[in-house]
Structure 1
Amino acid sequence: MDEHEGALGGAMASYWMASAPGPARPMLQKDAEADIAVVGGGIAGLCTARELALAGRSVVLVEADRVAAGVTGHTTAKLSAQHGLVYAQLSDAFGADAARDYAAAQTEAIEHVRLTAEDLGVDCDLETAASFVYDERDSETESLKREAEAARDAGLDAAFTTETGLPFPVAGAVRVEGQAQFHPRKFLLAVAEDLLARGGRVFEGSRVVDVATEDGGHRLTVGGGAAVRCREAVIATHYPVVNRARLLSRLKPRRELVLAAPVPADADPGGMYLTTADDTRSVRTAPLPDGRRLLIVTGEAFTPGEPGVGERYRALAAWTADRFGAKDIAYRWAAQDNGTPDRVPYIGRMPGGDGLYVACGFGGWGMSNGMAAARLITGLATGAPPAWAGLFDPSRLHIVKEAGPIAANQKTVMAHLVGDRLGHAPVASADELDPGQGAVIRVDGRLRAVYRDDAGDLHTRSAACTHMGCVVGFNDAERTWECPCHGSRFDTDGAVLQGPATAPLRDESV
């Protein structure tokens, strides 16, 4: 047990994963055919696949790991149309119609989750709750008031308030009624079962490594060599494995930490809360079988590969104990997603008109956006897209408004691609590594990712991410190698944990 684990306790695991184990699905070991293939088994992929099956399409879904176990299995599972201060930003940048379209997409998605859960008869701890964006600083109240007005104009039941259920005072908050929270794994495992019952096929442990266009359709090849042939394909892998419309340069990865601690039922703050202060803090609770509530606190946002993750966990734990008196951490995990320059996801047809669809850039709001993606892509595939589809078009490019964020993102990528190779490695020698530690070390002029396991043995891999060659960094809390450019993650033996990388870090053991 490392210092971090000793300080916090609890299981390094997602509560959703621990409380809802699902059956294993087979690997894709021989070629398959379908009308539409879906790549990615998170909420966007699973719900899209089911909606397409409901529409009469034959569907094959391939997932690199386990369904509902990646980003979706490590979410905070808020079903909210309130995504920070998004409505004032959308109204100011693109007009009131854009804000209304965004609100409609999210609201319809939440209602569709409710209807789907009812249709499937699944108990997924679905609860209606108010959502709040709050701030403790008086200087931010005007921004909150503007957001409340913009959200109300967009069609949400929103209002500015100074009253919340939090155990500490706030300067102000935007309250939105009629939102929801749920257990994503319970919901999505039921979605997967229904997909299978409708003739869909689901394959796990099948990472797509190539997407080729052929004979008026597509061939999706997985790591073992088998392939899915299809007329159309949906890429729902957060960072797409197909780079169209410069999506890679327009997506920025962000990772956040999550702590969960049981609290008495009367300590429930009664809602879902978010503040951008204190390096972001998100709070909600979930029901526990013994009648208590599980307090779920998210925060300490950082770029994958940044050092000091263990210290960030401790900071989040200290904030949780100070604000809620919750010290007995039961679970801790991390979530990752990608944001876009204009804060609107990329959902729809990829440019080229050749039957590829994409869903990515959810910006941490994947539960509602994932279901919105399912409805949008199914609508496009069947010729009946929703009225708000154009807002999410992946080929959009707002030159003036996106130029700054895109340039900053590319500057960061180049700094890691080139600058990290020119700078000094943070550790001079593997002799400096204690058990459980990892670092990038320069050996014979080459950067190597070196990890010393608990037994004292060294694991050495190339420090170049296999996606585009950026230098990885070590996550000391999760013991993973992470790429700061596009968010690929690898275990200490170099195996891919999260794309867009599809190949492991090169073995450079000596």
Structure 2
Amino acid sequence: MVYGPGEGYSLPGRHGSFWMETTAGVPHPPLSGNIETDVAVVGGGIAGITTAFLLKQAGYAVALIEAGRLSAGVTGHTTAKLTALHRLIYADLIDQFGSDLAQQYADANQTAVEQVASLIREYEIPCDFIRRPAYTYAESPDSRESVAAEADAARSLGLPAAFVEEVPLPGRTYGAVRFTDQAQFHPVKYLLSLASLIPGDGSRIYENTRAVEVRDEKGALCEVRTENGTVTARSVVLATHYPFYDSPGFYYARMEPSYSYVLGVRLDEPFPDGMFINAESPAHSWRSQPAGDGELVLVGGMEHRTGEDVDTREHYRALERYARTIYPLRSVDYRWSTEDYITNDGVPYIGPLADGHENVYIATGFRKWGMTNGTVAGLIITDMIRGRENPWSEVYAPGRFKPVASARRFLVHNIEVAEKFIGGAISRPSGEIRDVRPGEGRIMMVEGEKTGVYRDREGRVRAVNPTCTHMGCIAAWNSAEETWDCPCHGSRYDASGKVIHGPAVKDLAPRGAREE
């Protein structure tokens, strides 16, 4: 008998990203041997592809390296809102960073919307690009004042913002900040089209090539060592969502991983004109998408820290229950999840990795707004490699630290990480291997060793050492995705222990485990 994720536990929709299931990219070969180039870009999502494309246009030879398939990671699991309205951020930026740096963030993200629109026009990219207003709305009267303050702050920075009383969603709302002339698109169609323009004139793309080490000794060329060979370059861009080469900048102490969920649903009525997200927690996000024979509506949210000791399947269920309180759903067609990183002060890190590592650049911590911030990363890093000043580099500088903006979050995050380092205690009785059901994973003591035990849908047992190979935290079982997830820094492994998401670059070690 074949079981679904967790015996007897049904989940809404079929498991898979709409973006990935409606595209068929042209495959690129893996790296084979050693090569030299001007710039090595590691990571094939929106930040990496945009950076590689812009550098190629500027005359550089680029090697773009991706551990799996282009756009199949975080970018392939986004909700793909192309907007400078990032929930509630501008009032906080003005308060904690000052108006000048808040202006940089506002200008950068509004420019990113227009940059994507311009590339789509210039290269005639068919990616379902549609102009839409974006809303952050109050679901409770307690949030109304914050939403109104956000509208005032955004408008003071020259953004196309207004406070509106009416929100074109069913159900009671209490006003919203509305940005006009924002956009939505199909991110994978867009990026695969951009990627197709990169190869040639010395530039190359390599898929299924995992980078495992960076060497950047002062005065020497940089080296990116992969499982298949070494790339030597004058500059390296780490666009891997989380920089696997992070110790020079201690990014593991300055960001936290966050997990969230998406359902693709069908309605019996047209979806209103707009993209929507609430101001409260948990997040509730809405947007529509043309889908061949009609309209798919993407509802997302239910975020939590990666690797929390919870039954993650319940988050899909909770999201479906919430969606049904707003609309009668005709069907739930898709479900997928995604992981994002949030910096201590809420602004991404884009720029040189650290002092003494000026030829290695990072782009990370997009705070769930990667469509614009990933584009911003490409613009900033391209300018830096070209030796040009960029008007937004200060607010995104990785070396910044704003005590007022980030000290509390920095302390809370690192206290939580320290707790995970200290033994990774098993929070519930672990039972025996025979108790593990098909489709289920548990951490238990086996012959005196902490062991991650998974029983597949055919009843076979797989066992791993659950110690994350990045920095030694204990991975937790993700029941919805059937993966081992690190609660400290967000590394993820499949049920057999193979790395599917960094910063880890090594698989979990296998364990011997037998049923008595």
Which of these residues, 114, 123, 128, is aligned with residue 131 of structure 2?
Answer: 128
User: In the aligned structure 2, how far is the partner of 1:493 from the partner of 1:385?
Assistant: 46
Letter in 2 for 1:185: V
Task: Indicate the residue corresponding to 2:296 in structure 1.
Answer: 294
Query: In the TM superposition, what is the alpha-carbon distance from 1:115 to its structure 2 partner?
Result: 0.8
Does 1:372 find its partner at 2:372? no
Task: Indicate the residue corresponding to 2:43 in structure 1.
Answer: 40
Q: SS state of the match for residue 183, structure 2? A: strand
Between 1:161-170 and 1:275-284, the stretch displaced more is 275-284
Does 1:410 find its partner at 2:399? no
Does 1:93 find its partner at 2:96? yes
Task: Indicate the residue corresponding to 1:304 in structure 2.
Answer: 306
Query: In the TM superposition, what is the alpha-carbon distance from 1:353 to its structure 2 partner?
Result: 4.6
User: In the aligned structure 2, how far is the partner of 1:48 from the partner of 1:231?
Assistant: 15
Compared CA separation, residues 469 and 426, structure 1 to 2 (3 A)? farther
Q: SS state of the match for residue 49, structure 2? A: helix
Query: In the TM superposition, what is the alpha-carbon distance from 1:444 to its structure 2 partner?
Result: 2.9
Query: In the TM superposition, what is the alpha-carbon distance from 1:269 to its structure 2 partner?
Result: 2.1
Which of these residues, 342, 349, 352, is aligned with residue 349 of structure 1?
Answer: 352
Within a 5 Å distance, the mapping from 1:76-475 to structure 2 comes to 76-197=79-200, 199-214=202-217, 216-224=220-228, 226-243=229-246, 244-264=248-268, 266-277=269-280, 279-290=282-293, 292-306=294-308, 307-351=310-354, 352-421=356-425, 423-424=426-427, 426-475=429-478
Task: Indicate the residue corresponding to 2:72 in structure 1.
Answer: 69
User: In the aligned structure 2, how far is the partner of 1:169 from the partner of 1:310?
Assistant: 28
Higher helix share: 1
User: In the aligned structure 2, how far is the partner of 1:3 from the partner of 1:41?
Assistant: 29
Residue pair 2:266, 2:330 contacting (<8 A) in 1 also? no
Between 1:271-280 and 1:429-438, the stretch displaced more is 271-280
Residue pair 1:490, 1:505 contacting (<8 A) in 2 also? yes
Residue pair 2:5, 2:482 contacting (<8 A) in 1 also? no
User: In the aligned structure 2, how far is the partner of 1:192 from the partner of 1:497?
Assistant: 22
Query: In the TM superposition, what is the alpha-carbon distance from 1:176 to its structure 2 partner?
Result: 0.8
Deviations 1:247-279 (CA, angstroms, capped at 9, x unpaired): 110011001011001235x42121111114351
User: In the aligned structure 2, how far is the partner of 1:70 from the partner of 1:261?
Assistant: 22
Compared CA separation, residues 492 and 7, structure 1 to 2 (3 A)? closer
Between 1:270-279 and 1:174-183, the stretch displaced more is 270-279
Letter in 2 for 1:448: T
Letter in 2 for 1:294: L
Q: Which residues of structure 1 form unaligned runs of 5+?
A: none
Q: SS state of the match for residue 241, structure 2? A: coil
Residue pair 2:347, 2:366 contacting (<8 A) in 1 also? yes
Task: Indicate the residue corresponding to 1:509 in structure 2.
Answer: 512
Q: SS state of the match for residue 159, structure 1? A: strand
Query: In the TM superposition, what is the alpha-carbon distance from 1:499 to its structure 2 partner?
Result: 0.3
Letter in 1 for 2:462: H
Letter in 1 for 2:23: A
User: In the aligned structure 2, how far is the partner of 1:251 from the partner of 1:155?
Assistant: 29
Letter in 1 for 2:346: R
Letter in 2 for 1:91: I
Within a 5 Å distance, the mapping from 1:478-489 to structure 2 comes to 478-489=481-492
Deviations 1:67-95 (CA, angstroms, capped at 9, x unpaired): 11100000000001001110000011111
Between 1:243-252 and 1:361-370, the stretch displaced more is 243-252
Deviations 1:348-390 (CA, angstroms, capped at 9, x unpaired): 1122253111000000000000000000000111122321111
Could you state the TM-score of these two structures normalised by the residue count of structure 1? 0.96
Letter in 2 for 1:84: R
> Matched residue pairs, number?
506
Letter in 2 for 1:140: S
Query: In the TM superposition, what is the alpha-carbon distance from 1:199 to its structure 2 partner?
Result: 4.2
Q: SS state of the match for residue 240, structure 2? A: coil
Deviations 1:455-481 (CA, angstroms, capped at 9, x unpaired): 111100001011111011111111000
Between 1:350-359 and 1:4-13, the stretch displaced more is 4-13
Between 1:390-399 and 1:196-205, the stretch displaced more is 196-205
Query: In the TM superposition, what is the alpha-carbon distance from 1:424 to its structure 2 partner?
Result: 4.8
Residue pair 2:237, 2:361 contacting (<8 A) in 1 also? yes
Residue pair 1:284, 1:297 contacting (<8 A) in 2 also? yes
Q: SS state of the match for residue 289, structure 1? A: coil
Q: SS state of the match for residue 431, structure 2? A: coil
Deviations 1:288-340 (CA, angstroms, capped at 9, x unpaired): 222x2110011110122222111111010111122111251111000111001
Query: What is the RMSD computed on CA atoms of the aligned residues?
Result: 1.5
Residue pair 1:152, 1:159 contacting (<8 A) in 2 also? yes
User: In the aligned structure 2, how far is the partner of 1:409 from the partner of 1:439?
Assistant: 25
Query: In the TM superposition, what is the alpha-carbon distance from 1:123 to its structure 2 partner?
Result: 0.8
User: In the aligned structure 1, how far is the partner of 2:358 from the partner of 2:104?
Assistant: 26
